[in-house]
Structure 1
Amino acid sequence: MSTTAEPAADARRDAEAPALEVRDLEVTYPPRGGRGPAHAVDGADLRIGQGEIVALIGESGCGKSTLARALVGLVKPTGGEVRYRGDVLGHSNAALKEHRRHVQLVLQDPGGALNPRQTVYDAVAEGPRLHGMTGDLNARVHNALSQAGLRPPEDFIGRYPHEMSGGQQQRVVIAGALALGPSVVVADEPVASLDASVRGEILKLLLDLRDELGLSALVVSHDLGLAWNIADRVAVMYLGRIVEVGTVEEVLLHPQHPYTKALLSVLPDSGHDRSPTLLTGEPPDPTAIPDGCRFHPRCPLFAGLDEDARRTARCTTDDLPVLSADPSLGAQVACHLAGESRDEGAGATKAGDDRDKDSGAAR
């Protein structure tokens, strides 16, 4: 009786668990060149539901690519944990190999990701060969190429990377990921190196894969416009922390964090009449995280306070809690000036509670 019940319970747990998540993740690199340790990811919670596309947005140096690599086991966390369908990721060779069958990384530069001496067939077959999945290799490679939009696959299997366009090369990289039959794809700047005319095709491909295969995806980018075109939810990252998270409509139409607003203000189709918000100060430095809110040295809201208010503001002294990864909580923002929370641990607020209130304005 118990042997029958246990598989059913395991299946129910797998169906209910997020496809992939991190809990209080930390990745710290040791001191180097006279500089202190670099806190690339400094406490982050993020959840990717099954069949969901989440966009992780932020400037270069904010830690988003480090977080992506931790999700696929290429970077070992110094704290917290990565979970795939509820199971904590171990870092033995066997555990990592099994994990990467289910969670595949797609890199931004297909030219660098593909071996110029390998044909398309060998590039796509490399993953299955490493995992011993060779019984139906020809069918697996052809199917993966078809799923990635390279049809008919017979026209491509004998080509070398230099014989294809950048968009076709990126499709080969995606096909290499699909050949293992993953349930999650982590795409790090998947269209950054492509011409504008090709970007839409690759983004549509990711959407089609979600709809046809039930594939989940984390798409890492510096471009909030990309998030609008592809994502179900958006997480905005700054200096190792997620500072705002919610559905794409909540975050992009009703941004609460001043950093999100600044990123949106420079989009050509942002719809805002006001001038773009230019951030002052130095870009994020993971070796020198300031006290209090880590964004306050560059924050337009903080800079707009009068001198007495700046001196007494919590922005310079009180750290903000890590935002929960639970999507049922709705939009959340980590900002002292975006609306004081009435709960303990004030500072992390539900964005939706404050959209129509004046409490988000600097006094």
Structure 2
Amino acid sequence: MADPTEPVLEARDLAVTFPARRRQPAARAVDGVNLALGRGEVLALIGESGCGKSTLARAMVGLIEPNRGEVRYAGKPLRRTRSGLREFRRHVQLVLQDPYGALNPRQNIHDAVAEGLRLHGQRAGLTRRVGEALEQVGMRPPEHFFDRYPHQLSGGQQQRVVIAGALTLGPEVLVADEPVSSLDASVRGEILKLFLSLRDELGLAALVVSHDLGLAWNIADRVAVMYLGRIVEVGTVEEVLLRPQHPYTRALLDAVPSTSDLDAKTVLRGEPPDPTAIPAGCRFHPRCPLRATLPEDRAQLCLNDVPVLAPALDERQVACVHADAAPPAAVPHDRAEVTT
């Protein structure tokens, strides 16, 4: 029987480096990440574009082989053999950002949803299981959609079909990479509600990758903030989004439009993170607004190495030696001010 206190999906010291190109240094896209996802939990992974979120997500579903570290499912390391990956992907499924691009335009909806079952040799009761999966994502009656093609569906319906295809194998974890970013604002809320209903009805855990703080606020139990290949802050959604301790998290929150005093907001300056030129010490220090306000001796501490956060399900963790010295962010005090 599964241990409810044990992470269902976990990254331990995970690192992914892409080779150098045209005399450019190698890119350390993921650099020593520890991250744990609990059973039935929704964990939002947020950060700027280029910080390594999508690379980490793909490594955690076995699509990218890490240069260091390991991925663990239910306490056991992922075996990168053909049979090991096949078994792993029965339990951990990826939901991509662009639903239309994820669907074969020449394949009808029945066959698209059934693809995973066929690949795993599970043909018994195929149509019944496809219908059940479509019902689980709110496409009723399912028979109405069997003979349709992706171009005949709305963007929201296409995303539901992609999620239905992931559900047919009975996974325990969904890893969703920007699952609503390509959808109209009018249907984003419906897809987010679907993730919550799948968590409540099926006990699914979900790692949701996004740059949207409103998405995290609306559906996540916990939030992990990523910057330049590492997790810099992790905690419950209330802890991280209402009481941020890392200067980078504060800057992200200050960028959210709200009714707060604009003079109190922090503007994130400097160049975007470059995984081919990672600075020594705290990798955020060249852009850190807090460091500029500190005495020279304290600011020098930022040039030393910073702690790598350990995988944990119930601990507030911050990778900043000056976390307690920063002023509060200009964050909203109710959910109405942070929306998708």
Q: Give the TM-score category using the shorter length.
A: over 0.9
Among 261, 267, 273, the alignment partner of 1:273 is: 261
TM-score, scaled relative to structure 1: 0.87
Distance in 1 between the 2:82 and 2:308 partners? 31
Distance in 1 between the 2:235 and 2:69 partners? 22
- Map Cα deviations across residues 62-81 of structure 1 (whole Å, 9 max, x no partner): 11101100111000011111
- Specify the alignment match of 1:343 in structure 2: none
Contact residue 337 and residue 361 of structure 1 kept, 8 A:
no
- Specify the alignment match of 1:119 in structure 2: 108
Distance in 2 between the 1:327 and 1:51 partners? 12
Contact residue 255 and residue 261 of structure 1 kept, 8 A:
yes
Among 313, 325, 338, the alignment partner of 2:300 is: 313
Alpha-carbon distance, 1:309 to partner = 4.8
Letter in 1 for 2:313: P
Letter in 2 for 1:265: D
Structure 1 residue matching 2:323: 3-state secondary structure:
coil
Pick which of 106-115 and 25-34 moved more.
25-34
Contact residue 29 and residue 52 of structure 2 kept, 8 A:
yes
Is 1:128 the counterpart of 2:113 in the alignment?
no
- Tell me the percent identity: 67
Among 68, 81, 84, the alignment partner of 1:95 is: 84
Alpha-carbon distance, 1:12 to partner = 4.6
- Specify the alignment match of 1:104 in structure 2: 93
Distance in 2 between the 1:328 and 1:162 partners? 44
Q: Which structure exhibits the higher relative contact order, with contacts defined as CA atoms closer than 8 Å and separated by 6 or more residues?
A: 2
- Specify the alignment match of 1:346 in structure 2: none
Q: Which has the larger radius of gyration?
A: 1
Contact residue 103 and residue 150 of structure 2 kept, 8 A:
yes
Among 307, 320, 328, the alignment partner of 1:335 is: 320
- Specify the alignment match of 1:64 in structure 2: 53
Distance in 2 between the 1:327 and 1:210 partners? 17
- Map Cα deviations across residues 260-294 of structure 1 (whole Å, 9 max, x no partner): 1111112124x532344221111111111001100
- Specify the alignment match of 1:347 in structure 2: none
- Specify the alignment match of 1:181 in structure 2: 170
Distance in 1 between the 2:2 and 2:182 partners? 41
- Specify the alignment match of 1:263 in structure 2: 252
- Specify the alignment match of 1:147 in structure 2: 136
Give the unaligned 5+ runs of structure 2: 329-340
Q: Trace 1:107-256 onto structure 2 (pairs within 5 A).
A: 107-256=96-245
Contact residue 265 and residue 272 of structure 1 kept, 8 A:
no
Is 1:301 the counterpart of 2:290 in the alignment?
yes
- Specify the alignment match of 1:75 in structure 2: 64
- Map Cα deviations across residues 309-343 of structure 1 (whole Å, 9 max, x no partner): 57x52112x111111221232x111112213xxxx
Q: CA RMSD in A?
A: 1.5
Q: Trace 1:284-295 onto structure 2 (pairs within 5 A).
A: 284-295=273-284
- Specify the alignment match of 1:323 in structure 2: 309
Alpha-carbon distance, 1:86 to partner = 0.4
- Specify the alignment match of 2:338 in structure 1: none
Distance in 1 between the 2:191 and 2:2 partners? 33
- Map Cα deviations across residues 136-190 of structure 1 (whole Å, 9 max, x no partner): 1011100000011111101111110110100000000000101111000000000
Contact residue 292 and residue 320 of structure 1 kept, 8 A:
yes
Structure 2 residue matching 1:33: 3-state secondary structure:
coil
Distance in 2 between the 1:304 and 1:223 partners? 28
Structure 1 residue matching 2:279: 3-state secondary structure:
coil
Letter in 2 for 1:30: P
